[in-house]
Structure 1
């Protein structure tokens, strides 16, 4: 048993109090282990070191799965060690097997509050109140104080996009470490930058529609219309316009139709509308 004040054993009798309730105030990492498990013994000091390093911002609760079989079964533990992170009374992340400290720390950083997160909350409040300049100043201060908190970068990019400063937002997103390239939020924001750039300085949506109706072969205006529709939440209308661009001229503006559809797919994520439109795009390409 560790002598750290941030590491403790839990049982089914006190799990609700020491894990579920405590995780409302501070993240609790629950280590399901057993005496016979060699990897568990290898992982234990790594978790202890992390608990001490975070100095009370993280607690580590240990569950002997041989003794607390019902608790292990309740949380779907099938192999040891299994480690689950509780925040707000629920599991928000987990891993199995021995992991290097760097990988575990990366997982934790997504959930452990930082001082710069308080500035993020203040910035969100200011933005909601309409004081965008104050919000931007708070986010830039947070980035300066804590350059490793890339959640600040995402908030700042999002606000810059909403203010029409897409070039600065894209530059900031492109400057993130390579490991964030496949992050869903980063890809979503980059897709928004692309669409915003396509309809920059465009007239209102109704005027764009009227222009395209009057001049169907004006693909530059149709491209603006497609982007404007998607940014307005009219996804099907926008994607239909991109498909029409592909039908009329696949190579227009460096394959703007295909690029616009891919950006729309990023924004929609797992939405059921993606599959049929992806199929239509594929058919036009082949």
Structure 2
């Protein structure tokens, strides 16, 4: 850690050179800390790991606040640890207290353009032109050179789901930490994956339509039909069928109609269609 070229002990004597001048060439994170500060000791290994991982895209400047009180006062440090982000000699971001690695990564992503960002942008431009295979190839490259970035994994998994490569999509999504899986965009992908996996094992639509025409109370067929429609992107038809299951038998498969609707709502997020059927479900329940 002490031998890292990307971690520097900073004093009043070298602050101008390391932080003010240095931040004209790269992002500088100034970590105000003290020996007696337990959260500082928790934070330092995380910052040091990231500094080495980012390989010079930012420099970690450590300021012992007890020894460098003039710097702490100059930059209005009120609690420890305090980390300030410098670009071009100016503070552009900051945080106080020990933060998780994921939170710090998210802040770094706002201030550092990586090679994977360029590949990601190119990939999404290709996708908008309908060149999905080429987009997937670029996103795979981005994930290889900069693994574990949620934004890249989410878009790559989403395209793989569109292409029907469920196994690879699932592997990618499951590689994310549990905290990332709770994010709305990842929860949506997980729901999408679940529908795709279920639909992959079902009879075709025409066969289910014949079954339902012959027996409108065949709720298993109706449920399978809903799953196929949702997986195909026909969310309204799918949700209509799930509501119909609720109307006919709330006890069917332990209230499967309602539970599946909730998963669709998670998948669609703020989509107005989801809001429409959420209201209809609420009216049906109450």
TM bracket, shorter-chain basis: 0.5 to 0.7
Instruction: Describe the superposition over 1:153-201 as per-residue Cα deviations: whole angstroms up to 9, x where unpaired.
Output: 3222100222344454235424555554434332210112234456665
Aligned-partner Cα distance in 1 for 2:152–2:222? 35
Cα offset, 1:222, TM superposition: 5.8
Aligned with 1:56: secondary structure?
A: coil
1:230–1:264 CA contact under 8 A, matched in 2: no
Instruction: Kindly report the root-mean-square deviation, in angstroms, between the aligned alpha carbons of the 2 structures.
Output: 5.3
Aligned-partner Cα distance in 1 for 2:265–2:146? 32
Aligned-partner Cα distance in 2 for 1:252–1:230? 21
1:29–1:86 CA contact under 8 A, matched in 2: yes
Distance change in 2, residues 1:245/1:135 (3 Å): same
1:120–1:139 CA contact under 8 A, matched in 2: yes
What does residue 55 of structure 2 align with?
55
1:126–1:132 CA contact under 8 A, matched in 2: yes
Matched, 1:184 2:191: no
1:40–1:81 CA contact under 8 A, matched in 2: yes
Q: How does 1:35-50 map to 2 (within 5 A)?
A: 38-39=37-38, 42=41, 46=45, 47=47, 50=50
1:120–1:142 CA contact under 8 A, matched in 2: yes
What does residue 68 of structure 2 align with?
none
Structure 1: state its 5+ residue gaps.
Answer: 73-77
Query: Aligned residues, how many?
Result: 256
Distance change in 2, residues 1:60/1:224 (3 Å): farther
Task: Give the structure with higher Rg (CA).
Answer: 2
Bigger mean CA offset, 153-162 vs 259-268? 259-268
Distance change in 2, residues 1:56/1:227 (3 Å): same
Distance change in 2, residues 1:176/1:255 (3 Å): farther
Aligned-partner Cα distance in 1 for 2:197–2:49? 47
Matched, 1:263 2:281: no
Structure 2: state its 5+ residue gaps.
Answer: 66-70
What does residue 123 of structure 1 align with?
123
Q: How does 1:235-246 map to 2 (within 5 A)?
A: 239=239, 241-246=241-246
Please give the TM-score of this superposition, normalised by the length of structure 2. Answer: 0.58
Instruction: Describe the superposition over 1:45-96 as per-residue Cα deviations: whole angstroms up to 9, x where unpaired.
Output: 6546754653321244779553334xx6xxxxx7432336689x965x8451
2:29–2:85 CA contact under 8 A, matched in 1: yes
1:243–1:281 CA contact under 8 A, matched in 2: no
Please give the TM-score of this superposition, normalised by the length of structure 1. Answer: 0.58
